[in-house]
Amino acid sequence: MITTRKAGYSLTHTTVVETLFNDILYIFLFFSLYLEVFFLITFFEERLKLSTKKLHEKLSYYPSTTIIVPCWNEEKTISKTIDSLLRLHYPKNKLEIFIIDDGSTDRTWEVAQKFVGNPQIKLFHKENGGKHTAVNFGIENSKADLIGCLDADSFVDKDALHEIARAFNEDRDTMAVTPMLVVHEPKTILQKMQKTEYHTGAFLKRMLSPLDAINVTPGPFSIFRREVFAKIGLYKKAHNTEDMEFALRMQSHHLRIRNVHTAQVYTSSPATLYKLYRQRLRWAYGTMKNTLDYRFMMFRREYGILGMITLPISFFGVFIFLYNFSFIAFHAVRSIADKIVQIATVGFMSAIPNANSFYFNTDFMAILSYMFLGLGIFIIWNGVILAEGRFRPSSGIFYFILLYGIVAPIWFIRALINVALSRESKWR
């Protein structure tokens, strides 16, 4: 970040308004830094527990488990999803799989017929009613100790259930376990970007776990104790982010949700910007609406870090993100405009910046940005280690740092507008 100004004589001037905007930014940056430091302290407290899985170690008890696979027009991926479940390292008599066709209009039901006769698998067909109705149907038909769900576009690692069952065995109070989500075979630049985003998310989720501050039990392979549904009821319609509403409902009843990073689940990610936009708009909108619905937990100490940190970030984070984004965008546009004027005036060759250490930007804001970048890389680094066992540099990290700040405002802004107008976002 070398800022150079060859224009010797002409200068910009700071206005009072600009100073005010700067001050607000400083406050936001202070809070963001505080949060990062808080997570880092948690990381140092937790780091000994972040070991890799203890392979082939038998469990003292294998709880009976039902995995529900709700499908709606998933003819292409359903087989692969079921196959990955059948390959799980888990006693066959303890694991049953419910394939629930939620009124698909394609060949999903026909494709699923090939699993008829497998003693582990039960097939159900129902009228279309939305994903949560399919999952509820499965829950009502299950008698297992643990009940979970796997979206038909995701695949599980063979040790995932074993690791989750162990977490349930180790802590009687754990009521739900979420896995680590990993992007499956990223191909496009956006998918590679999402891979790093998921790594970052995985790290933060893992840090939120011991703080009892997880606010979503994602559709792919979150597993619950059966009694949870008896206590707080089934899934209900909630802004197309039912998995978030359910987690918040659990939290409001002080039911423990833990994240087990050694249980990995591979999920497909949107390949194009439009698909990504649709998905994230739904998430961002759902996050804000559900947080509003459960706002009674916000800033209440009895709900711990969830009330003090996760929920406020879920709601206000969008504003802070957009504020910081517009600040950076404003300055970027201004310096690009200056550069264009310079090139138009004296030509391209004379506008090349001179690399003199004198012009290296050491403004307070610049030093803070270097630090945020450093902390960000530290988090990505540890996210990769959490997911892959050791750090490997990848193009995804580059794309994430470069692109995420540019694409994310697209859905954040739209989500804000939709929240303001109370306009529901579609599933697809």
Partner 1 sequence: MRAKIETKKYVLAFVITATVFFGALMISGRFEQSRLAEVKSVENKISLDILSSETQFALLKESSCKAIDHSTAFSEELNSLAQKLAYMEDSLGEKNEEVISLKKYYSLLQIKDYLLVAQVNEKCGVKPITVIYFYSNKGDCNDCKREGYVLTKLREEYPELRIYAFDYNLDLSAVKTMKSIHGVRNTLPALVIWDEPYYGFKSPEDVEKIIPELKKFREARDKAAAEASATSTKK
Residues that bind partner 1 (CB under 8 A): 5-14, 29-30, 33-34, 37-38, 41, 173, 210-212, 254-256, 302-305, 338, 341-342, 345-347, 350-351, 358-359, 361-364, 366-368, 371
335 contacts: CB under 8 Å, gap ≥ 6? 3
Question: Based on CB atoms, which residue is closest to partner 1, 359 or 398?
Answer: 359
The smaller minimum CB distance to partner 1, of residues 5 and 126, is found at 5
* Closest distance to partner 1 from the beta carbon of 303 (Å): 7
Residue 128 or 335 with smaller CB distance to partner 1: 335
**Nearest distance, CB of residue 397 and partner 1, angstroms:** 23
Task: Give the nearest distance from C-beta 406 to partner 1 in angstroms.
Answer: 25
Instruction: Compute the least distance from the CB of residue 25 to partner 1, in Å.
Output: 13
121-126 and 174-183: which strand pairing? unpaired
CB of 12 to partner 1, least distance (A): 6
Q: Rank residues 360 and 391 by Cβ distance to partner 1 and give the closer one.
A: 360
User: Minimum CB separation from partner 1 for residue 345, in Å?
Assistant: 5
**How far apart (Å, rounded) are the C-alpha atoms in residues 366 and 179?**
37
Shorter beta-carbon distance to partner 1: residue 267 or 314: 314
Q: Smaller CB distance to partner 1: residue 9 or 274? A: 9
Least Å from the CB of residue 328 to partner 1: 17
- Give whole-number Cα distances, 375 to 40, 265, 295, 318, in Å: 9, 26, 30, 20
Query: Least distance to partner 1 from the beta carbon of 169, Å?
Result: 18
Q: What's the sign of the alpha-carbon dihedral 219, 225, 227, 231?
A: negative
Query: Is the distance from CB of 182 to CB of 264 less than 8 angstroms?
Result: yes
In the complex with partner 1, which residue's Cβ is closer, 121 or 305? 305
